[in-house]
Every structure is written in C-alpha cells, then in structure tokens.
Amino acid sequence: MSRHDDGDSDNRTPVQLPSRIPLMRIRQRALPLALGLFLSVNVLAGQAGFRTVSVPGLPADPEPVPVALFYPTQSPERTIAMGPFTVHAAMGGVPEAQVKGLIVLSHGHGGSELGHASLAEALARDGFLVAALRHPGDNWQDQSLLANGPARYFSARPQQASRVIDALLQDPAWKDRIARDAKGPRVGAVGHSAGGYTVLALAGGRPELQRLATHCSDNRAADPILCSVAPTGEPAVTPSGQLDQAVPALADSRVRAVVALAPLGAVFSARSLASIQIPTLVYEAELDRYLVPRFHAEWIAQNVSGVELHRVSNAWHWAFMDIPAMPISTPDGDIGADPPGFDRPAFLKQLGKELPAYFDKIFELSPG
C-alpha cells in the first residue's frame, strides 16, 4: 500500500518458475478476436490532455470521487507543477473524437491521483482515456477509511473505482468517445500497492479478511511495514450494532485486463486468485520492503492462471511513482528515494512504453 502527501528494460527480468507451481506462467497474453468483430481505433494524437471531474459517490458513501482525466489531444502540452508532482499535458485540451479505451488508475494507501501522472500521460498519448481517481477516505488529505474497519476499507476501494467506470461510460462528454468492440467498452485498470489490490478485486479476486490477520500474526517480523499499517484489527461496528465483517462481491465484469504494480496480495487466498480469468500483468519491485514480494506479488503470480510477472531489479516499493519535488516521508522512507544504481526516470520511461503496448495487445489495437 502506498503513502503520499501524494525504463530501462535491463531493470526488468522474468521470474523463474518454481516447479511446484504448474499454473503460473510468465508469458504475454492477448485476447484473440476474429477480424471484423470490432472497430479498430488508431488515434493519431501525440499529446496528452488533462482536466478534472468529480464523480458522485455511492449511496452508502456519498462523498464525491475526484478524478484526473488524461486523454489524447492535438492541443499543445505544457508543464505545470501541481503540488509535489508535475503534469505534462494540455490543460483542458480538446479530446480526440474517439479514444482506444478507458483505463482506471488506482493509487496506493494515502496517495494521490497525480502520483502516477507520467504513466497516465503515456497511456493518453497512446490513445487511451485514463481516469486517475483520488480514493475518498484513503488519500494524502484524508485517511479515515482505515478507521472504518478492514471490511469497509477493502470493499470501498474497488467500489469507488467501479463508480468512476459507471460515470464515464454514461457521461455525454465521454461515452461515445470510448471505443467498443464485440465484448463491449474497452476497459482496463492499473493500480499500485493498495491500488494493485483494488484492480485485482475488480478482476475477480475477493479479499478474505481473516487471511490478512493471520498473515500478520504469523509473518509480522518478515513483512513488518505492511503489518504496521494494514487494517487487520477488529471489524468496525455499524450503526445497527452489527459487526461489519462481510465483504461484498467486488468484481467488475467490464474490466477486461489489469496491471498490478507492487500490489498488496496477502489478503487474497489461492482459491480467490485462481478465480481471476482476465489478462493480468504483475510488476514486482525486487527489493520491496513495504510489501515483501514473496507474500504479495509472487503470491499473486503463483495463483493467477496465465499471469505475466515482471521483476524490476534493484527497485524499492516507490519505483512506480513519479519523483515528487519535495520529500514525502512514509513508513518505508522517502517516496523519492531509490537504491544506489536504480534509475527511476529511465524505468518510468520504459514503463510508459510497456503498459500502452500491453493494452494495445490485449485489445488488438495498432499503436497510437
């Protein structure tokens, strides 16, 4: 889970498969579709546009969801500092008539919708509409969601992301721009840390709260940072006096591929992960101390059939975030810090090539 007041291909090496895990395969997956079943989209824009919207909240949690939209445009980009992060985009630029698809971007615990701006810009320049949401109750300004108990925390995040998908697929400004094919609107999701959990829940993984509590009871010394911040305590009591411990179904069938960056995974059982049937790409930070890979990224990769796993060599947990212009402290040190020898700008540049190519392949699109 990430905290915020919020490439180089040589840094990415495939993980060797343990022979005891026959279901895990490090390979690329595409969804084969017969020619002519969908409208091919080749967006020619080379610029990223930017605007913000506010999505109405859920009936049970009416707080609006702030969303930063990145999208393809012909309008000229400019560089603008926004708090500790920098956006390179055309502010309010005119969107292209059609986008390749919708990608929802989920930040980590205590994070920001702008913490992965460079990745959102790269996807937008490739032709996608990117909706980077600020999770209500779990962002740099407000972390009250944790106080509501683990059931609410782990259910609210995916529900908030689904609410953003609802809104944009119904929005007159965007619904006709988002490309469709024989399977419906093209929708994908990317998430970092707790955002990685979020997109895996959208893909069909179902959190099992007792599993996380047991994990921290058994492995606190080996996974200390996660177990110091994870909501593993007693469930909250609802206004009716009942214990809030049930987690509803969270899968969103509109999401057709996910990318999980240094994800929180210990909350999922092997059975739950095996239920994920859509293309899944997982990135592991080799030296991650916030979410120790063997309990999280590697656990996910061992149990999701057909998963593609990339290990980023010599990387800490924050490698997937843009470097802020000011120090931002976390339980795992400064967000902008990296191990000696790790070139984060080069890695983010490479990631900005790999993820658009991945979604192009999944949706069988030509590069933008």
d(CA 322, CA 320): 7
Residue 293 lies in a domain: yes
Question: How many Cβ atoms sit within 10 Å of the Cβ of residue 284?
Answer: 26
Q: How confident is the model at residue 149 (pLDDT cuts 50, 70, 90)?
A: confident
Give the global pTM: 0.85
Residue 290 lies in a domain: yes
pLDDT of residue 152 exceeding 50, the answer is: yes
Residue 180 lies in a domain: yes
Residue 310 lies in a domain: yes
Give the CATH number of the domain where residue 109 resides: 3.40.50.1820
Question: How many Cβ atoms sit within 10 Å of the Cβ of residue 231?
Answer: 23
Residue 67 lies in a domain: yes
Q: Are the CB atoms for 257 and 188 separated by under 8 Å?
A: yes
Taking alpha carbons only, the member of 358, 314, 195, 273 closest to residue 24 is: 273
- pLDDT value of residue 230: 80
- pLDDT value of residue 229: 86
User: Which two structure tokens, joined as six digits, stand for 84?
Assistant: 């500790």
What's the pLDDT tens digit per position in 180-191? 999 999 999 999
Q: From residue 142, how far is each of 6, 19, 153, 160, 325 by CA, in Å?
A: 11, 44, 13, 15, 21
What's the pLDDT tens digit per position in 32-66? 332 223 333 444 458 999 999 999 987 777 899 99
pLDDT of residue 361 exceeding 80, the answer is: yes
Residue 4 lies in a domain: no
d(CA 181, CA 42): 14
Domain count, the chain: 1
Residue 2 lies in a domain: no
What's the pLDDT tens digit per position in 284-327? 999 999 999 999 999 999 999 999 999 999 999 999 999 999 99
Q: From residue 284, how far is each of 132, 149, 241, 309, 350 by CA, in Å?
A: 21, 28, 41, 7, 15
* Higher pLDDT, residue 132 or 7: 132
Could you tell me the residue range of the domain that residue 52 belongs to? 9-362
What's the pLDDT tens digit per position in 189-205? 999 999 999 999 999 99
Residue 36 lies in a domain: yes
- pLDDT value of residue 60: 75
pLDDT of residue 22 exceeding 90, the answer is: no
Taking alpha carbons only, the member of 256, 218, 286, 260 closest to residue 362 is: 256
Q: What is the DSSP string of 90-129?
A: EETPPBPS-BS-EEEEE--TTB-TTTTHHHHHHHHHTT-E
Q: What is the mean pLDDT of residues 258-279?
A: 96
- pLDDT value of residue 367: 66
- Strand blocks (E) in the chain: 12-14, 47-55, 65-73, 78-82, 85-91, 102-106, 129-133, 180-181, 184-185, 187-192, 255-261, 280-285, 308-312, 329-330, 333-334
Q: Can you give the length of the chain in residues?
A: 368
Question: How many Cβ atoms sit within 10 Å of the Cβ of residue 130?
Answer: 29
Q: How confident is the model at residue 145 (pLDDT cuts 50, 70, 90)?
A: very high
Q: How confident is the model at residue 350 (pLDDT cuts 50, 70, 90)?
A: very high
